[in-house]
Amino acid sequence: MSPAVRQPPGARAIVEGDRRALAQTISAVEDGDPTAAPILRALYPRTGRVPIVGLTGPLGVGKSSLLNALIGHLRAAGKTVGVVAVDPSSPFTGGSVLGDRIRLERKPDDDGIFFRSMASRGEAGGVAAATREVTRLLEAAGYDVLFVETVGSGQVDVAIRDIASTSVVVLVPHLGDEVQTLKAGLFEIADVFCVNKADLPGADLAAKDLGELVALGTGRDGWAPVIVPTSTTTPSGIAELWTAVLAHESFLDRSGHRAERERARLRAEVAERVRDRVGREVADRLEQDPELRRLLDRVVARQLDPAGAADELYRAHYGRR
């Protein structure tokens, strides 16, 4: 029996290039719908091979414009591209602002591109987990290169960076605020720095300053981050940016870090899944435990401290210790 025969219909459709099946399964992943699980399981052996390029950086530096330019470059080389944009939806409106911010320029009939935005409402770990599964679906669907665009701030971003095999941090000339961002953590994760808007004055100086900062650090796993000036308006530096990404990808292969990181990532994923499940189980049990209310009365009355109450409940459910 060939593996294809055992696949659930949704998985087969995705492998065969059915965009609608792909979109529906992505929605199921986003909604936490359990129908996605057998499809993800069937497709998992087809994953783990393509570059996943993270594009991050402060608001408005030109991440989406660069994405468009890189896609143009890759399509011209015959590569297909999948994109996940993580939408920093506003906590004030609760709505998505992404529609206004990302306009992917592509020929409507180009099947070589698949674009999907994900809302980043909710807990960072959950968004990252869903994004990771969506990249797996895109790879199984046959896309050669994947991009994940995020805005360079906040927990979601930190969680999502771990998914990328190469992280591109986009900055612009006049590093003022961006230097703060670097200190806040972007610096450690950048494999490639892109100084975009190089058509504006000060780009050379910015790249030089950045070079001095980069030289102070050691880089991840002994890789010295590359700095590439780009402009999406001229345009210039796009091919060089892609070359830098590929250089990092081949470094990962040569050095053995790809396999090492992959293993560490998967270990974290498995552990996280167990933790989630145990956590949910514990929460359910407590929910139904009348003892909790009794103990809580005593905690509220200051007859018992919260740690003592937790001790008693733990012992009641999980034995002595």
Ligand X SMILES: Nc1nc2c(ncn2[C@@H]2O[C@H](COP(=O)(O)OP(=O)(O)OP(=O)(O)O)[C@@H](O)[C@H]2O)c(=O)[nH]1
**CA separation for the pair 155, 309 (Å, rounded):** 31
Tokens of 184: 């806040």
Considering the complex, what minimum distance in angstroms separates the CB of residue 266 from ligand X? Answer: 30
Query: Which of 151, 182, 189, 252 is close enough to bind ligand X by CB under 6 A?
Result: 151
**Residues of this chain, 224-263, that bind ligand X according to CB under 6 A:** 231-233
The piece of 30-38, 59-67, 165-173, 274-282 that touches Mg ion (CB under 5 A) is 59-67
**CA separation for the pair 255, 253 (Å, rounded):** 6
DSSP 149: E
- Number of residues interacting with Mg ion: please give it, by CB under 5 A: 3
User: H or E stretch including 179?
Assistant: helix 176-181
For residue 145, the Cα-to-chain-centroid distance in whole angstroms is 14
Considering the complex, what minimum distance in angstroms separates the CB of residue 159 from ligand X? Answer: 18
Our CB check for Mg ion shows the closer of 24 and 117 to be: 117
**CA separation for the pair 67, 70 (Å, rounded):** 5
Considering the complex, what minimum distance in angstroms separates the CB of residue 72 from Mg ion? Answer: 16
Q: 223: alpha, beta or left, given left = phi > 0 and alpha = psi -120 to 50?
A: beta
**CA separation for the pair 125, 186 (Å, rounded):** 18
Q: Which residues pair with 169 in a beta bridge?
A: 56, 193
Degrees to nearest 5, angle at CA 75 with 50 and 55:
55
Considering the complex, what minimum distance in angstroms separates the CB of residue 232 from ligand X? Answer: 4
Binding mask 92-131 for Mg ion (x = CB under 5 A): ---------x------------------------------
- Number of residues interacting with ligand X: please give it, by CB under 6 A: 16
Q: Does residue 116 sit in helix, strand or coil?
A: strand
DSSP 231: B
The answer to whether the CB of 194 falls within 8 A of the CB of 178 is: no
The piece of 137-145, 186-194, 195-203, 248-256 that touches ligand X (CB under 6 A) is 195-203
Binding mask 51-90 for ligand X (x = CB under 6 A): --------xxxxxxx-------------------------
The answer to whether the CB of 21 falls within 8 A of the CB of 10 is: yes
Query: Which of 24, 56, 64, 166 is close enough to bind Mg ion by CB under 5 A?
Result: 64
> Residue 61: which of Mg ion, ligand X, none does it interact with, CB under 5 to 8 A by kind?
ligand X
Note the residue count of the chain: 321
> Residue 258: which of Mg ion, ligand X, none does it interact with, CB under 5 to 8 A by kind?
none
136 binds ligand X (CB under 6 A): no
Binding site for ligand X (CB under 6 A): 59-65, 101, 151, 196-197, 199-200, 231-233
